[in-house]
Amino acid sequence: MTTELLDDVVETVLADGQVRSSLRRIVGVIGQYALLCVLSVVVLAPLFMTLIQALSPPLAYIDAGKPLHPVEVAWKDRTWFTGGAWSVLLRTAVILAAFAWLQRVGSPHGSWLRHAREIATVRRLVAIVGGTVTLTVLLGPVFGSLHAADGRTAGLFFLAVAGVAVTQTIGFHEPGHRSVPVAILDALAVSVVAVAAAMVFVGATVWTQSWASSGLGEAMLRSLTMSVLITVAQVVTAILAAYAFVFLDFPFKRILFAAALATLLLPLEVTLVGNIALIRQLGWIDSMQGLVLPFAASAMGIFLIRQGFRGIPKDIQDAVRIDGHGHLTFLTRFAIPLNRPVIASFTVISALAAWNQYLWPRSIIETDASNTLQIALRSNISENIAQANVTVAAALVSAVPVAVMLVAFQRHIIRGLTAGAVK
């Protein structure tokens, strides 16, 4: 960020001959960045506070007078390569993906999927692989020193940062696009964040502790299963219904469409008592079908996908019919592929909503062993205040999958969320 600010300032000064107006512009730019930084701090403040609480043992934290930094963090005696093959693989994959993403952001190209060949230059591959290797190797001594509390941590930390920064500079530097000093500053900023994040999230004991103590893994798997089933069901039923409403002719079309949309006026909160009674009657308490089936169709989905289908030109439809193809061909070869963006957006918001569900699982799950992730977080809250750090750590860990999704599918998520707002 600072490098970009400098860049902007330098550009402004060079571009503008008149000192006074350029000075005013510099002040303006600095003011804008300052406002953005203040707002960022405000938005992230609760996250920082929770991070401090997660890392500090509660009693020690209270004794220290609740400072705005973690106290007496418990560090593991480990290297990057200890802790089981799966977890090593996972965290290495995460770091690898993070560096790959950063190099993509640093490149002038759009996405790895579409521009893999342009992005994957030798320099960037060296930065991605080299960055991962350097980080994994140099973090070992940092962990060792943190665990031993031998006072050498700061030095080793900066060594790791410097090592990673060198690799990233190689990737960021691009003649004509980014000069060496700017590349170095960008690489330094990236490395500090990468090393610090890896140190905190791999080195501290509280994360594995919260993972192990609260059945977070099982709950996450259950939530994942539920979300996938709900999303697939909603997308399939919505596509079929939307297709019928747009391309098929049948009696009572308007009434049926109105009846489908009217379910928007019957949110779960309204039908809750009746639905719980129904689930109880069916013996579906604590069951996956009880979690999924009530959400297997979505009026919002039918509406959005119908809008998309209506945009398909009549000519295409006629051409397909003249060629002798039936509705199934038209649906699978034309209607769905032509509306991939709408369907993708709906898929993403549907998955997000399913993952975040709270009231319904809370109502029909009665044993902790059947908890979804969101209600497992609630069951974790214990009366014992000395466990507070483990509880909040679990909450943070549980947000990781969505955070990853958010980065990976940012465009689709934002398009989905704003689907009703902007044409």
Partner 1 sequence: MTDLTVSASTQDAADVAPKRRRRRYRPGEVGLAALFLLPSALVFGIFFYLPFFKLVSWGRFESTRGGGYRDVGMAQYREVLFGEPFKDGLIHSITFVLYTVPAGLVLGILLAVAAHRQLKGIKVFQAIFSSTLASSVAVSSVMFLFILNPVVGLFKVDWINERGWSLFAAALPSIWQNLGLAFVIVLAGLQAVPEEVMEAARLDGYGSFRRLVRITLPLISPVLLFLTVVLVVFGFQAFAQIDIITGGGPAGSSETLVFKIFRENQNYGAGAVLSVGLFVVTFVVTALQFAILDRRVHYDN
Q: Which of residues 361-380 bind partner 1 (CB under 8 A)?
A: 362-363, 373-375, 377-378, 380
State the nearest-atom distance from the C-beta of 105 to partner 1, in Å.
8
Applying CB under 8 A, what is the total number of residues that bind partner 1?
95
Is residue 272 at the binding interface for partner 1, with CB under 8 A as the rule?
yes
218 three-state secondary structure = helix
**Identity of residue 138:** L
Contacts 24+ apart (CB under 8 A), 210-216: 210/390, 210/391, 210/393, 210/394, 210/397, 211/394, 211/397, 213/390, 214/376, 214/379, 214/380, 214/390, 214/391, 214/394, 215/368, 215/369, 215/371, 215/376, 216/373, 216/376, 216/394, 216/397, 216/398
DSSP, res 335: I
Site string for partner 1, 103-132 (x = CB under 8 A): --x---------------------------
Q: Give the residue, chosen from 327, 334, 338, 412, that forms a contact with partner 1 under the rule CB under 8 A.
A: 327
Kindly state whether residue 422 participates in binding partner 1, applying the rule CB under 8 A. yes
d(CA 123, CA 132): 14
| Token pair listed for 275 | 């639905």
- The interface with partner 1 within residues 168-187 (CB under 8 A) comprises none
According to CB under 8 A, which one of 175, 251, 283, 313 is a site residue for partner 1? 251
Of 138 and 388, which has the nearer Cβ to partner 1? 388
Choice between 148 and 414, CB closer to partner 1 = 414
Nearest approach, Cβ of 267 to partner 1 (angstroms)?
Answer: 6
Among 170, 299, 335, 342, binds partner 1 (CB under 8 A): 299
Rounded Cα–Cα distance for residues 220 and 214 (Å):
11
- Based on CB atoms, which residue is closest to partner 1, 350 or 391? 391
| Cβ closest to partner 1, residue 163 vs residue 290 | 290
Q: At what angle do helices 2-15 and 19-55 cross, to 10 degrees?
A: 180
Whole-number minimum distance, CB 140 to partner 1, in Å? Answer: 30
Interface pick for partner 1 out of 250, 254, 283, 324 (rule CB under 8 A) = 250
Q: In terms of C-beta density within 10 A (0-12 exposed, 13-18 middle, 19 or more buried), how is residue 169 classed?
A: buried
- Under the binding rule (CB under 8 A), the answer on residue 66 touching partner 1 is yes
Q: Which stretch binds partner 1 (CB under 8 A): 132-140, 145-153, 205-213, 389-397?
A: 389-397
57 in Cβ contact with 384 (< 8 Å): no
Angle subtended by helix axes 216-247 and 299-310, to nearest 10: 50
Whether the Cβ atoms of residue 105 and residue 177 lie closer than 8 Å to each other: no
**In the block, residue with structure tokens 């009665």:** 366
- Rounded CA-CA distance 42/39 in Å is 5
Q: Which is nearer to partner 1, 8 or 174 (CB)?
A: 8
Nearer to partner 1, 196 or 403 (CB): 403
Which backbone phi and psi does 205 adopt, to 5 degrees? -75, -20
The smaller minimum CB distance to partner 1, of residues 251 and 283, is found at 251
Positions in 41-60 near partner 1 (CB under 8 A): 43-44, 46-47, 49-50, 53, 58
In the list 225, 237, 287, 329, the residue contacting partner 1 (rule: CB under 8 A) is 237
Q: Which is nearer to partner 1, 124 or 178 (CB)?
A: 178
Among the listed ranges 3-11, 72-80, 93-101, 146-154, the one in contact with partner 1 (CB under 8 A) is 3-11
